[in-house]
Structures are given as C-alpha cells and as structure tokens.
Structure 1
Amino acid sequence: MSNSDPVSEKPLVDVHDLHVAYGRTHAVRGLSFTIGRGEIFGFIGPNGAGKTSTIKVLATLLKPTRGFACVSGINASINPAAVRRKIGYMPDFFGVYDDLTASEYLQFFAAAYHIPVHDRPPLIRDVLALTDLTEKHDAPVDGLSRGMKQRLSLARVLLHDPELLLLDEPASGLDPRARIEMRELLKELQSMGKTIIVSSHILHELAQFCSHIGIIEAGRMIANGSLNDIYRALSLRRTIHLQLVNASTELLASIRALPQVASVEEQSDRLALQLQEDQTAPEDLLAALHALGARVRMFQPDAMDMETAFMKLTEGKVA
C-alpha cells in the first residue's frame, strides 16, 4: 500500500479556462495551468499581457468573467475567505504608511490577520529576521529603501504562514544587489515548503530560480513548463566556445560525432560548438570532451536565458 498523501499530490493551484474582461478589453483569454506544491512558478509576459489580472483572481480581488481559479481545491470566487487564509498577496506597489515603524506596520497587519496578541511579538521578530530587517524594526517605513520596503511587504504576507505566495513584480525598481537578495529569499522560502507565483518581465532572473515558467501574451498562455520543456519545444541551441591544445582532424571528427553536438564551426582561434540545450548540460559536454582525450584551454558557454525563448515565442502583443 502506498503511503503517499492524495491531497499533497493534487496541484495547489488549478486555473481552468480563465477569462477576465474589463468592458470590451479582454485581458485574460482562456488561461489554464496548474502549479504543484513547493514549486516556484515564474509568470512572464510584457506589460498588459494579463499577469496581474490572473494574480488578482487568485488573490480573490477580481472575479473572472468565465472559468475558475482554485487554491488547494477551493474556488477563489465561491469561497474567497477560505482562499485568503491560504495565500499571501504582494502587489507591485507598497502603499502609503506614513508615521509607522516597520514593527508597527507588521503589528497592524498581524491584527488584521486575527493573530492573537500574545503571539504577535515573537512572530514579528521571526519574519523580520527571515527578511533580514531586524535592525530596521524601529525605522520609519517611509524612510526605508525600495528594496527594504519590498522585503517588509514580504514579511507582512508571511505573518499568517500562507501556503501560496502571490508576488506581482517583486523585483520591480530594485537595484542589482536588492534583486539578488530578493531572489535568495525566495529560494529560502521554497526550501521552507512555500509555493510561489512570481510575475516579472525580468526574464533571465526568473530563469535562475523558478522550477516552472509560464509565458503569457495577449491573455493567452503560449508556453508552460520547465525550462528544459520550453527549450526543447523551441529546439534552442547553446553555443560553446572552445579552444583545444591538441586539436587534430581525428579529434574534431570525434567531437562532431558526439550525439549532443549539433554542429562544429572552426573559427580563427577557437571552435564554436552548437549544443542541443535539452539533451545535455555544458558540464556534461566538457566531461565527454575529456573522455575523448581533448586538452581544453578554454570552455566558454554562451548565456542561455529566457530572453531567447521569449523573443522566439512572442510577437509583442498585449490584450
């Protein structure tokens, strides 16, 4: 008999045939996807593609024109109160909270979440520590940097320990250091068992930590799956720049015969190998080269990121 929990095997998020219209503007057009527990789902698309509308439906802030969105089997439109207990929603703007310190801001929301008074101080200390804001607990909110405000907003949505985090453009307006800090924080939250939907148009950053990617354009999902799924569907290739100490006709023939190598171009001072992205990783190719007896002086893979996939898949349309 299997010991697996049938509830845990069901997707945490189930969106089916979702339509959202604002008058004559059809923002979301038949969107369907699922997200498993513990995944980080990167929602990618240009402004106006329908990302925020979809997230607002899951956050119970918007009712769909047609279709449904469920969290843990609960329909967000039919039972919004139950869904709100399971989600933490972080919009792409912070709001105005003048004259509050970081701790007072979290106290306010802890009360809104009906967290018992005696539980609030240790809980606030914990979320401040998790978001690396302990030293800012008495700092005025309106004096915090953009990155600190984003982390404080994330601390807020963690107060009631939600299963699902809905993060709309969390890296928007952040400097490079703050983006890295946000990325590492999301990885840590995933390791704690959180399921995360994060929307962005900063494609290469999502590709670094998302387990699945959904690319949306004009309200429709045009690609959905792991990075390898998307690369495979597009037949994307990565270029590896290679210099060999012991290049020979026989060795080049052996390299060309490797099944993962699509082509080899001989350039003035190097070789340019086209590697099938979905068939092998660059480090596996390097091991195969060593197995052939190649002495490698330079091995430089070109960056393969979601911009390539995005440009091949989309036409720049909005809803």
Structure 2
Amino acid sequence: MNVHTSGSDCIELRRLYRYFGKTKAVHDISFSVPRGHVFGYIGPNGAGKTTSMRILSTLDLPSYGDAFVDGFSVVNDPELVRRRLGFMPDSFGTYRDVNCEEYLDFFARAYGLVGRERTQRLKWVLEFTGTVGMKDKPIRGLSKGMKQRLCLGRALVHDPAVMILDEPAAGLDPRARIQLRKMIRELADRGKTILISSHILTELAEMCDAVGIIEQGQLLATGSVDEIQLQRNQTRELTVRILERALDAAALLTSTSEQEGCASPASHVLGEPIVDGELLRFAFAGDVRDQADLVAWLIDKNFAVAEIASHRKSLEDVFLQVTEGLVQ
C-alpha cells in the first residue's frame, strides 16, 4: 500500500501523462484540490478532461505519472481509491425494469454495506437527492433531471470523500441545474472534495472555489477566476460616480497616472477616463486593495465619490482568452 500525504489536499494529479498512440490526451498535468473544495475542470471537447477523470476514477491508467485520491495512489492502490471515490460519468447505464430504491440498494450492496448501515444510507441518499417520492418508480419513467439525481445518489451511497462529476448538468432544465448546483455546494460544505467538468461556465463560476483550464491535453491555467486574470495581467473596468466635478477628476487621474514613478493609486489607471455626466469609466490594473486606496485618494482630493462599481471579465471571457479553440 502506497500512501501519499500532501497536507489537506484530497485530490492530486502529479505529472500526469496519457497517450493514445501519437495523441497526447493528457500531457504533464499537475494540480491539487483541498478537502471540502469544488474544482471546475473546463476545456473544449477532446481537451483531456474525461481522460483525466477516468484516470482519477481508476477506470484507466496513466502512461506516466500518478494521481492521488484522499492520499492513495490510483496506480498502486486502486481498490482503496474506489472506496473513497464517487464517480458520476457523463452517461451511465440504468436498468429499465428496476425502481430507484432497488437501483441504489444494488450499488450499496456492491460497496459492502449491510444491515442497518445500508438502510440508513439509502434513506439519506433518497432524501438528499429528493427522490424519496419516486423510490418505487421504474427508472424508465424518470425525466432526465431525476435520472441525474439518481446517478448522483449512486455516487454518494457509500459516503465517499471525493466526488468526480463529469458534465452532471448536461441536458437539464434551468430549475434542475439550480437544484443540482445547491446539492453540490452542500456536499462541499459537508467536507467532500468535488472535481466537476461542465460546459456551462456561468454555473461553474458560481459554485467553484477554483478552476483549471485545459486544452489539447495541457493545463493552461489554474486558480480562481480573479487569480487567473491577475496571472495574465488582465484589467478590470471601474465606473466611479463623482458629484459635480467629474471632468476635474478625470483630468487629475490622467495627469497623475502619466507621471513616471508615481506611487499614488492613480498610477493603476490605464489610459484616459471616459466621462459620461457624473460617471467616469476607465481600465484599472490594480487589485481590490488598490481600488479601495483609489477611492480614499479621490476623497482626500476633495472629490465627492458617490459610488463605485467594478466589472471583472466573466469565466467565459477568461476561457476564450486563455484557450485558442484547438482540438486534437
């Protein structure tokens, strides 16, 4: 048994490679996810997301490198990994003439749950996924959304520490996606570590603590949306409402930002502010602390700052800027 410890990280990919002939499905991927965090894994079709997830789930072996789930190697200790892992694939098999409770009970037995423990786990899973009222209903009569809930329940039935969810929201209606998002966040709050892939980037931005962007088998960026933007020197747009003297403020910001070696917060202002009545709009290269300093600086210069708004690029904007749309 090969136990690898890495602090509080519950998922770790270390120099992971997976080749299919000349195709580099996964090429030198390394990242980790702390316990209780949700990590969004995004990239175009064929980027290597599912291959990475299959390796983490012990359904495939890496060509080189290793991955760890709750401290155990997927290469050396696959059985121990499976006991700690719940995998929800993008498509899954069901049995048409089996009802929901029978389906979950089958997998609970497969994981070795017996007696009272199995009964309690089935009860909790049905309640958590909202399928109690459909436990006697044949699977063939379930909607897409209810089938996704059932699949999530199957992945949860043995109380895993780590969840791997491959496109769980695909094909769901808006209400079902919102409910699924709430369940995923609740699982993370309960201490489960979740790796999730999705093409619905707005939802990932809302539920994930960090994301990883992959293309052509290579990891291009990791971190929160703000961190990735800062890594790539991306700016935010500020809109500042200044009562009565907006033109004077714009002139001062422009002249101050152009002074070489200026240490004032105005040095983060890029270009000339656009004046629209009481509103000033300009690109700003600083972080939130620099933004707060800028407001204090303007007030110190006797400008009446009524309000300020910051506009960061969305995860979709970041994704488009980081990737090139390449496939393999």
Matches of residues 72-151 of structure 1 in structure 2 within 5 Å?
A: 72-151=70-149
8 Å Cα contact 2:47-2:215 kept in structure 1: yes
Identity between Structure 1 and Structure 2 (%): 39
Counterpart residue identity of residue 318, structure 1:
V
User: 1:316 corresponds to which residue?
Assistant: 325
User: 1:44 corresponds to which residue?
Assistant: 42
User: 1:305 corresponds to which residue?
Assistant: 314
User: 1:56 corresponds to which residue?
Assistant: 54
Counterpart residue identity of residue 280, structure 1:
V
Tell me the CA shift for residue 318 of structure 1. 2.4
For normalisation by structure 1, the TM-score amounts to 0.87
8 Å Cα contact 1:52-1:168 kept in structure 2: yes
Counterpart residue identity of residue 203, structure 2:
E
Q: Which has the larger radius of gyration?
A: 2
When structure 1 is superposed on structure 2, of 147-156 and 50-59 the one drifting more is 147-156
User: 1:157 corresponds to which residue?
Assistant: 155
User: 1:175 corresponds to which residue?
Assistant: 173
Correspondent of 1:274 among 283, 294, 313 = 283
Distance 1:72 1:293 in 2: 54
Tell me the CA shift for residue 295 of structure 1. 2.8
Tell me the CA shift for residue 91 of structure 1. 0.1
Distance 2:314 2:287 in 1: 16
User: 1:206 corresponds to which residue?
Assistant: 204
For normalisation by structure 2, the TM-score amounts to 0.85
Deviations 1:65-90 (A, max 9, x none): 11111212321122211110010000
Distance 2:9 2:141 in 1: 40
Distance 2:311 2:181 in 1: 22
8 Å Cα contact 1:261-1:275 kept in structure 2: yes
Q: Secondary structure at the match of 2:236?
A: strand
When structure 1 is superposed on structure 2, of 208-217 and 130-139 the one drifting more is 130-139
Distance 2:156 2:269 in 1: 46
Q: Secondary structure at the match of 2:304?
A: coil
Tell me the CA shift for residue 151 of structure 1. 1.6
Matches of residues 188-227 of structure 1 in structure 2 within 5 Å?
A: 188-227=186-225
User: 2:257 corresponds to which residue?
Assistant: none
8 Å Cα contact 1:282-1:301 kept in structure 2: no
What runs of 5+ residues in structure 2 fail to find an aligned partner?
255-263
Distance 1:34 1:92 in 2: 22
Distance 1:285 1:273 in 2: 16
Deviations 1:121-175 (A, max 9, x none): 2221211221222222222222222122112111111111111100111111112
1:290–1:167 CA distance, 2 compared to 1 (3 A) = farther
8 Å Cα contact 1:20-1:66 kept in structure 2: yes
Deviations 1:95-126 (A, max 9, x none): 23201222111111111111013322222121
Distance 2:224 2:81 in 1: 26
Distance 1:302 1:282 in 2: 15
8 Å Cα contact 1:39-1:196 kept in structure 2: yes
8 Å Cα contact 2:246-2:279 kept in structure 1: no
Q: Secondary structure at the match of 1:27?
A: strand
1:26–1:157 CA distance, 2 compared to 1 (3 A) = same
1:251–1:104 CA distance, 2 compared to 1 (3 A) = same
Counterpart residue identity of residue 190, structure 1:
A
User: 1:3 corresponds to which residue?
Assistant: none
Counterpart residue identity of residue 271, structure 1:
L
1:246–1:148 CA distance, 2 compared to 1 (3 A) = farther
Tell me the CA shift for residue 50 of structure 1. 0.3
1:266–1:311 CA distance, 2 compared to 1 (3 A) = same
Distance 2:282 2:15 in 1: 42
8 Å Cα contact 1:246-1:295 kept in structure 2: no
Q: Secondary structure at the match of 1:221?
A: strand
User: 2:304 corresponds to which residue?
Assistant: 293
